[in-house]
Every structure is written in structure tokens, then in C-alpha cells.
Chains A and B, each alone.
Chain A
Amino acid sequence: MFEIDYAESGEVVCSGRLDAAQSARAEAFLGRLETSHTLDFERLEYISSAGLAILLKTQKRLSGSGAAIKIINVNKHIYDIFRYSGFNAIFEIETL
């Protein structure tokens, strides 16, 4: 199960498993962002390439207006995926 929603702080909180079957839900939410946002991955357990594609697509779109996604509380396994994908160079990332 994957969930994505705003926290009271304004951060976007992601939880569960962002796999290929759930990427449409992430895309629908992130596709509405128009300004810089922080994504909190503390409760995100898993992400596959389908989720990475949505993050990259969002970052590319936001960069056109000078905005960006920052990702915080990334667990070790997901950070490894970011590193192997080169995402650590195109996103600001903070690990747990």
C-alpha cells in the first residue's frame, strides 16, 4: 500500500511501497505541485524505477520555474537506489 498526502507542516509525506502499481497515484499528486516542496520519506519502505521516473519527471517540470523537490528521511535501501540512479546529484537528499 502506498499513501501520499500533505502534513500540517506543508511537507509531502509518502508512506508504504511506491511500486509500479502505485506510481499513477504518486504521479497524480506530484503532478499538481507548482512550487518547491519537501518530500518526507521516513515511512516510505520501498521504491522501484516506476517511482523514480515520477520523481524525475516532477523535478524536471519544476526546474522550469526555478522550483525543486527536496527529499528527507531517506532510508539506506532507498538511498542506495538513488545513488545507483545518480539521483543524489539532481535532488537534495537527507538520509535518516
Chain B
Amino acid sequence: MGSQAFKRNIESVADIYRFSEDVMAAADIDESVRFPVHLAMEELFVNLVSYNPGARQDILIDVQIADGGVVVTITDHDAAEFDVTRARPVDTGASLRERKPGGLGLHLIQHMVDTLEYDYRDGRSKIRFSKEPETHDV
């Protein structure tokens, strides 16, 4: 478990991966949880950086382990309001000709994490998501 602040630029995604991988590996978190957690962290971080390029403050990421699952909280104290739980829908059934590159990040998160919450007040965005281990029927 741990928290770390990251510079708000795209190159930070490698540092975010190493930080969260170290936390999850130390807790022996299953790959079926680690992969979607890494994906959601990257997509949400890149979203915060890309849609608020004038902001300066670092973005804080907190990773907590609970019962084999992971809860991540991403806090941006220099944020524009954008509710990540209300992402624009993507027509994944469109033809190649109709498809436009981009816009898949939040769509993927909604498929791959178990909970996703967004809170905005006084210029601070707080995004929390969780991923539980897959259960298998015996």
C-alpha cells in the first residue's frame, strides 16, 4: 500500500506503472487484477493531464490492497471538472470506415473495473476505482 505524487506529463505513466506494480507485486495480487488496474490508472492519469494542460500541481495516486483486490484513489488539486463516470459512449459496433481513433480510454475502464466514483469540489477532482479478483465457480 502506498501513495505517491506524479508530475503531470505523459512520461509519468512509466513511473506510475512501476509504483503500482511494486505495491501489487508485494501483496501478491493476481495478474487478472493488476492488468485492469494498470490500464485504469494510465487512462485516468492521461485524461487528467490531457484535458487540463495549463495545470501545474502534481497528481497524487494512492493504492490500497484489500482481500486480494485493489482500491486506487487519484487526486488532482488543480483540476477542471470532468465526470469520468459519464463518458461519451463509444459505438464499438461501427464499421472500420466509421470508427474514429481515440475516446476508448474511459469506455475500457467502465468494462474493466468493478466500481468507479468521481467527486469534484473547489477545484479538486477525486477519482476512486476498485478491482476485485475474479471468482471461479467450483
Complex CA distance for A5 and B41, rounded to whole angstroms: 28
Contact B46 A59 (CB under 8 A): no
Contact A86 B31 (CB under 8 A): no
Complex CA distance for A60 and B42, rounded to whole angstroms: 25
Chain B interface residue number, banded = 20 to 34
* CB-based A-B contact count at 8 angstroms: 72
A36 at the interface (CB under 8 A from B): no
Contact B105 A48 (CB under 8 A): yes
Complex CA distance for A62 and B76, rounded to whole angstroms: 40
Chain A interfacial residues counted at CB < 8 A: 24
- Shortest distance in angstroms between B55's beta carbon and chain A's nearest beta carbon? 17
Complex CA distance for A59 and B104, rounded to whole angstroms: 16
- Choice from A20, A53, A59, A89 contacting B93 with Cβ under 8 Å: A89
Q: Which B positions have Cβ atoms within 8 angstroms of A?
A: 10-11, 13-14, 17, 31-32, 35-36, 38-39, 42-43, 46, 90-97, 99, 101-105, 107-108, 111-112
Q: Which A positions have Cβ atoms within 8 angstroms of B?
A: 17, 19-21, 46, 48-50, 52-54, 56-57, 59-60, 63, 77, 80-81, 84-86, 89-90
